[in-house]
Structure 1
Amino acid sequence: MNGAQALFKALTDAGVTTCFANPGTSEMQLVYEIGLAANVRPILCLQEDVVTGAADGYARMKGSPAVTLLHVGSGFANGIAMLHNAGRANTPVINIVGANASYHQPNYPEHELINGRVIDLAHVVSHWAREARSASELGELGVEATVLAKAGKICTIVAPTNFHWEEAAPPPIPPTALHRPMASPDAITHAENMLANGKKTGLVLGNLALRGDLLEIAGRIAAKTNAKLLSETFPSFSLARGEGRPIVEIIPYFLETGLEFLKDFEQLIFVGALPPVVTFAYRNKPTLKSEPRCALFTMASADQDLLAALESLAKATGSATTETMRQARQAATTPPTGELTAEAIGQTLCALMPDNSILVDEAATNGPQIFAATKGARAHDYLSPVSGGAIGGGFPMALGAAIACPDRKIVLVQADGSGMYTVQALWSMAREKADIVAIVLRNDAYAVLGLEMARVREGDLNPKMESMFDLANPALDWVNIASGLGVSASHAQTAEEFYRNFASALEVKGPTLIECQVAIPKALAVFAEFINKTR
């Protein structure tokens, strides 16, 4: 057995069988061994943020990690943005990063990004990172990484290339899975007392608390105690929503709308979520979206056993048998007509999205309207790629979700500007025949930056400033872009056209793309003017 074989045996013995890859010279032995391994499925991606973003989407839906295969420090660096998002969401990911041979590294310091500094990069976006010191240690690190990843960690193994082919001992038998620490009894009691004090309370959920049995328990607690179920702004993992699911409201992204949303809450209890800190700091503005008088209490962090914590709280509040408030199916209406707006797109999705579909949302400025319009859709899972604030995760997350759940329809709403960060994912979708309908919202602008500029400008924008938000010169042609990458595509300019195109796309097994010519939301201009007056 060589080191590469020992590594893959460690991974596959732990059930890690999917590899998103963009390999290079130093990973050829690994590619060779993947080719000989019957139980490893490789997914080739053309850019490293597609690799890492797809691994994120896969793990959020599968509940277990995939492995990425990346080429030296420069390749790993290209995938850091999506690993940053995955880390913020506590998504399990295992990275294998090739490095030059151990005997080569000390002798050529001019290539230190390739040779000696990979581990430094890895520590930036990994909960755990190790560089193998022998062929046998590759298998040992593989075992350790699988155990930690399954506990919600990003793990990175730097693998010098000579250890891939050198002789290795078989990997050790993996230890039992790590048990997440329990929330303290005092924390449960304190949360129980908060829920009984008569104050307006939000139960803010994140991570695993947003899905399955955990969300059901949280729904019963909220119904019993008159609390409101809230989600962190960018839900980590997936949010179960739609018909029959407990009703959860997302804390808005923008500071001003977040402050308005939370203004009446007197206390917030966090379960797997973090306090509502604004993503970016603004001059003379608060950093929290909650009021200063609002009490903030973390009952259980994402690293703790959230199921046990919620079960304990349900028992303490006597809500174990309470019926939760559930989302009703929105009554069927006539298809939207006229101008193609975000609201019209959301109405169409609400009407037509199949049961048990997966909605991936990187719609940016159009996102709030689409999210609101789809709350009464058939039961579905909702994925938010930008959990760490890095844009461009929509295409790769949809790819990863499709690989994890091949029998479910993936619906992606993707802003045009951020879509260009990882457009190479379309090629992998075509190659893997991933069952995805990608809806590209084309407004030919980085529209959100116009709003952010309203916070700092002292006068009108000049053409030089405006040019840095404009994507219309030349305009992006998504139909031709998609076709060139192997994905069939259509264009919609009216609500009627989009309804027809989306209905047709749902009948196709495999990837399709619909380019939607949408105007920048009028509400955004009004909001920008409001910000400009109140800053």
Structure 2
Amino acid sequence: MNGAQALIRTLVGAGVDVCFANPGTSEMHFVAALDDVPEMRGVLTLFEGVATGAADGYARIAGRPAATLLHLGPGLGNGLANLHNARRGGAPLVNVVGDHARSHKRLDAPLESDVDAIAGSVSGWVRRSLSPADVAADAVDAVAAAARGQVATLLLPADVSWSEGAEPAAPPAARYAPVPTGYRLTQVAAVLRSGAPVVLFVGGDVVASEAGLRAAGQVAAGTGARLMSETFPARTVRGAGLPDLPRLPYPPEMAMASLAGTVHLVVAGALPPVHFFGYPDTPGTPVPVDCTVHVLSEPGEDGVAALRELADLVAREVQPELLEASRPELPSGPLTPRSMAAVVGALLPERAIVVDEALTSGVGLAELTSGAPRHDWLSLTGGAIGDGLPLAVGAAVAAPDRPVLVIQADGSAMYTISALWTMAREQLDVTVVVCDNGSYAILQGELGRVGASGGGERAGRLLDLGGPGLDFVALAGGMGVPATRAATAEELADQLRAALAAPGPHLIDAVLR
């Protein structure tokens, strides 16, 4: 058995049975081995950023790693932005990156690069397989490393892949997240009983499960603490029958206002908040200077178990306040960001997976979908735009029985627009709503926020998407995805109903005013 065959058999045995791929010459023996191991599903993408983003989306929904197959350093480099998002969101992910044959590396061939260094910038674990006999054990270690909530990158030289002498290995032992210590629980319980203003700031595993949200809601109801989520959680369970969970706003002035007066910030499943960027005359964090931060559970620990224990200490037999089922009325008239959000809230199907890369066009989305039927919400964890369409690919592969709805900004859609082709090829049940406002609106706001406002014509040309405008209907049709255009709320409602009712992918170009 050659190294590639042993690698794939080991991955499948460890539960990694989907590979999002954009291979090249160095990976051809891995590609050929897919016929020998039919349990591994290979999904072709046309750009590595789609492969890495899809693996992230798959991991968020499936709760276990997918693999990627990338070509040398340049291929890995093309996938870095969405590997950054996966790293920031704690997604389990196994990268397999082909490299030159060992005897060829010394020749400095045109595609030679420092793959190890590139991988290290986004990976918590990196290893190079040095012989066919090492491949299976290295793969087991990669899966175990990914299970700790990180990107694991296995570098596979081409000759190690094609050489005989490899055998598959048994899967790694199951991993259990550690539960925070009793000291932390006692300290936080005392803070919650103090009567001072407290914010319970949650994210990670806490917001990804109903049990975590209910425990957090129970603590808030029993102590008077305010419940708040990190700005961009990887996955949030939402909808009627769950506690309301406001998110910390993205703009720094709004984030600081939302935490003003907080004396104690209790963090569970998330990191203490900081602003995405530094701004003139603005502190780097929205946490007030006289506020004390208390960590109940860190990412990678069992925050759900910690909150359950905390609820028993400070709010035993208290029932959390839960959202009642509610939907907005279907709006009419010109299509605006808010009327678009109302249409989504009115028509969102049960068990939907919503991928949110609406950016500035997402005004009202969280509010107007909060009482909708139960659904999952995937966010832009690391701030590297262009993850919406790839996340949807991975989510749809992980949950083929659930509808996936992407609310996608127009500028960031172009980063990974080729994901539409993969949706069509795999016939994934994904509906894409493009928020078409013809501009990089988020950057227009940042221009003033950093004190660089001038409003000149030359600066403006770098922030608008006109001349020529983008025709998303034509782009989608050219890649096999049926597409329509909506300019009013009524048109969007009719087209969204039809798209959600039909199998396969669809795109709606929502022209916003």
TM bucket, shorter chain: over 0.9
Q: Quick one: which of 341, 345, 366 aligns to 2:336? A: 341
Structure 1 residue runs of 5 or longer lacking an equivalent are 520-535
Partner of 1:499: 493
Matches within 5 A, 1:102-501: 102-106=102-106, 108-109=107-108, 111=110, 114-115=111-112, 117-212=114-209, 213-236=211-234, 238-319=235-316, 321-331=317-327, 333=329, 335-384=330-379, 386-457=380-451, 460-501=454-495
1:404 & 1:305 partners in 2: Cα distance?
Answer: 23
2:497 & 2:302 partners in 1: Cα distance?
Answer: 41
Q: How many residues align?
A: 512
Structure 2 counterpart SS, 1:514: strand
1:409 to 1:459, Cα distance in 2 relative to 1, 3 A: closer
Query: TM-score normalised to the size of structure 2?
Result: 0.97
> How big is each residue's C-alpha offset from its partner over 1:131-175, in whole Å with a ceiling of 9 and x where there is no partner?
111112111111111112122121000000001111234233334
2:428 & 2:455 partners in 1: Cα distance?
Answer: 43
2:327 & 2:408 partners in 1: Cα distance?
Answer: 26
Task: Letter of the 2:23 partner, please give it.
Answer: P
Partner of 2:66: 66
- Contact kept, 8 Å, 1:357 with 1:381, in 2: the verdict is yes
Structure 1 counterpart SS, 2:331: coil
- Contact kept, 8 Å, 2:345 with 2:365, in 1: the verdict is no
Structure 1 counterpart SS, 2:35: helix
> How big is each residue's C-alpha offset from its partner over 1:166-206, in whole Å with a ceiling of 9 and x where there is no partner?
12342333342233333122111111111111122221111
> How big is each residue's C-alpha offset from its partner over 1:378-436, in whole Å with a ceiling of 9 and x where there is no partner?
1111110x211100000000111111111111111000000100000000000111111
Structure 1 counterpart SS, 2:272: coil
Structure 1 counterpart SS, 2:415: coil
Task: Letter of the 1:317 partner, please give it.
Answer: V
TM-aligned CA deviation for residue 62 of structure 1: 0.5
Matches within 5 A, 1:90-101: 90-101=90-101
TM-aligned CA deviation for residue 229 of structure 1: 2.0
Structure 2 counterpart SS, 1:36: coil
Partner of 1:25: 25
1:423 & 1:198 partners in 2: Cα distance?
Answer: 51
1:96 & 1:151 partners in 2: Cα distance?
Answer: 17
**Percent same amino acid among aligned pairs?**
40
Structure 1 counterpart SS, 2:295: strand
What's the C-alpha RMSD, in Å, of the aligned pairs?
1.4
Structure 1 counterpart SS, 2:95: strand
1:348 & 1:195 partners in 2: Cα distance?
Answer: 39
1:12 & 1:127 partners in 2: Cα distance?
Answer: 22
- Contact kept, 8 Å, 1:136 with 1:171, in 2: the verdict is no
TM-aligned CA deviation for residue 284 of structure 1: 1.3
Structure 2 residue runs of 5 or longer lacking an equivalent are none
- Contact kept, 8 Å, 1:490 with 1:513, in 2: the verdict is yes
Partner of 1:35: 35
Q: Indicate the larger mover: 308-317 or 468-477.
A: 308-317
1:284 & 1:99 partners in 2: Cα distance?
Answer: 47
- Contact kept, 8 Å, 2:2 with 2:132, in 1: the verdict is yes
- Contact kept, 8 Å, 1:148 with 1:178, in 2: the verdict is no
Q: Indicate the larger mover: 298-307 or 273-282.
A: 298-307
TM-aligned CA deviation for residue 331 of structure 1: 4.8
1:324 to 1:313, Cα distance in 2 relative to 1, 3 A: same
- Contact kept, 8 Å, 1:271 with 1:299, in 2: the verdict is yes
Partner of 1:2: 2
Task: Letter of the 1:90 partner, please give it.
Answer: G
Structure 1 counterpart SS, 2:116: helix
- Contact kept, 8 Å, 2:143 with 2:172, in 1: the verdict is no
Task: Letter of the 1:375 partner, please give it.
Answer: S
2:95 & 2:9 partners in 1: Cα distance?
Answer: 15
1:467 & 1:331 partners in 2: Cα distance?
Answer: 39
Structure 1 counterpart SS, 2:508: strand
TM-aligned CA deviation for residue 215 of structure 1: 2.0
